[in-house]
Structure 1
């Protein structure tokens, strides 16, 4: 079990409140999720800059130092409670490949029994890049494999629906291998971005959405406090495993849903089963 945070904004923004000073910031959550942390931020037009720590974020001065320096249009952060793989650098989130960045909150069921079957689904040139022991890193490279199968280049601009579909395929393939009838399935809250597109999934873990970041308190595009509707262009898109504060602008993402924003911060929403069914029916 872990905790994740994702931030996309129309303008570069500091994220220190979400990571450090909010009532339920990632720093506070790290008192339970104590097996390391990672923060990825995107300079304009470049691959992410990533910092990691292997101790609890709440007692690591580097976490506050890095958090105070980050100001970006796109930020991903993660705090880890190790379930698969030891606490070492090669097992730390976020995982990256070129411009792509990936974090996972959850655990695959009986991963040790199914590891080889899962690795067999990963394209060979991507599989050889696996460095650590986690189920999460393998899910990342399976996602990249499925994305490339949709005629989506892994460099350059990305189509938000192809990204969502690749995540749905990843979830469906993993569930088909790991889930057992009558038992809870693998938990797969994934968050992925290339710095422009950002997409997240929810399965068997909590996930919350807001378009009002603690950093600014703005929700300028609409007057009501309800969740954004598909097709709405946002100023900010914020995702977190838990509400970062008690404010009512946090909205729970539905189970087995995929949500995201495209290059222009337009909001999109799908059901995992619908996207996976399209994948089974043929090419996009």
Structure 2
């Protein structure tokens, strides 16, 4: 499975504290096959991307995000290691890729940007080739020209842009981003329904304008779990023991840091909460975290016993389901052999 990571904080953090230093960073998740359930493609070696916003606004630089992508494996890219030690940002998107749609190229590496907006996706649009031309027909010429690659993820971003009141706006409210995300999912479901597609689509979409963040854990099914997604919040995220052992500290009720990830970055179970299937996460500019159910034909209310019996088999088969990682065994945990 591809893996994604979002950091939003009241203070900037070095990229290395998210991407390279933690023992269970998304780069190590991509490299260490012992942590994976995706047996079809055991290593995320099909490129990576990281996007971030400047800590302080500079008129000459503008407010758009900066994105660094590469088709080389993330764990073997010395440029990423060097940059991660020298760049700090209050809002970061990270993504490592295992190709499921689209060729191996820089154009197909997440995240993508348009103006102030940045987008990434973990999942897959079922039988996308059957709906691709009809999706393209919905786009105005200027948005159609934005797409450079050939992934379902980037075309979904173009659809999102086309549904915004103004894709080139200098400011987007959390409400606008939230409602446009709802509309994007609804439009993709409509296209699939009209094409007679019955296989579920996995739509863990993430978008930000540098101030607000909207992320979804979604599948177009009433019976299956979506691709995995977790969040963690607290006052600081720091290394507490040598060897890249990080944890989220919660010194008070404030949420100075919010992390969203396909798979937890730490081995501390108390640090992470699983986002429920078919739920939208909204992080406001003031660091309020909202969990909003995506109520459509695939929504199962918590009061319905069926909500407790969704199965992860489909997402796992596709390689998009990651359970909480178990701490690595230490010498003390290893049973002694009897002579």
Cα distance in 2 between the residues matched to 1:183 and 1:173: 15
Aligned to 1:253: 275
Give per-residue Cα distances to partners, 1:196-250, cap 9 Å, x unaligned. Answer: 011100022000101136347432442xxxxxxxxxx631111100011111211
In the alignment, is the contact (CA less than 8 A) between 1:168 and 1:273 conserved in 2?
no
- Show the counterpart of 2:49: 38
Does 1:14 find its partner at 2:35? no
Which of these residues, 225, 237, 255, is aligned with residue 214 of structure 1?
A: 237
Alignment of 1:134-213 (within 5 A): 134-148=151-165, 154-178=168-192, 183-203=198-218, 204-212=226-234
Q: CA deviation at 1:185?
A: 1.1
- Structure showing greater radius of gyration is 2
Structure 1 unaligned spans of 5+: 223-232, 278-284
Aligned ranges for residues 117-132 of structure 1 at < 5 Å?
117-132=134-149
Count how many residue pairs are aligned between Structure 1 and Structure 2.
263
- The CA RMSD over aligned residues, in Å, is 2.2
1:5 pairs with 2:5 = yes
Could you tell me how far 1:184 is from its partner in structure 2?
A: 4.3
Match of residue 272, structure 1, among 275, 294, 311: 294
CA 1:78 to 1:22, structure 2 compared with 1: closer, same or farther past 3 Å? Answer: same
Greater Cα shift, 209-218 or 20-29: 209-218
The aligned residue for residue 63 of structure 1 is 80
- Cα drift, residue 70 of structure 1: 2.4
**Offset of residue 181 of structure 1:** 8.0
What residue is the counterpart of 1:225 in the other structure?
none
Deviations 1:101-128 (A, max 9, x none): 0010011111112111121222332112
Which runs of no fewer than 5 residues in structure 2 stay unpaired? 32-42, 58-62, 219-225, 240-247, 300-339
- The whole-number CA distance in structure 2 between the counterparts of 1:163 and 1:28 is 31
Q: Distance in 2 between matches of 1:202 and 1:109?
A: 16
State how far apart, in whole Å, the 2-side matches of 1:259 and 1:144 are: 19
Structure 1 position 140, deviation (Å): 0.7
SS at match of 1:245: coil
Per the alignment, in what secondary structure is the counterpart of residue 202 of structure 2? coil
2-structure distance, mates of 1:125, 1:221: 47
Conserved in 1, the CA contact under 8 Å of 2:161 and 2:167? no
Offset from partner CA, 1:80-107 (integer Å, 9 cap, x none): 1111111111111110001100010011
What do the CA deviations read for 1:182-205 (whole angstroms, capped 9, x no partner)?
A: 954111101111110111000220
Q: CA deviation at 1:59?
A: 1.5
Flag the 1:96–1:215 CA change in 2: closer, same or farther, 3 A: farther
Q: Is the 8 A contact 1:93 1:103 kept in 2?
A: yes
Write the distance in 1 (CA, Å) between the matches of 2:83 and 2:139: 33
Corresponding position of 1:243: 264
Match of 1:83 in 2: 100
| CA shift for structure 1 position 23 | 2.5
SS in 2 for 1:10: strand
CA distance in 2, matches of 1:178, 1:69: 44
SS at match of 1:188: strand
Q: Is the Cα contact below 8 Å between 2:51 and 2:111 reproduced in 1?
A: yes
TM-score, normalised relative to structure 2: 0.72
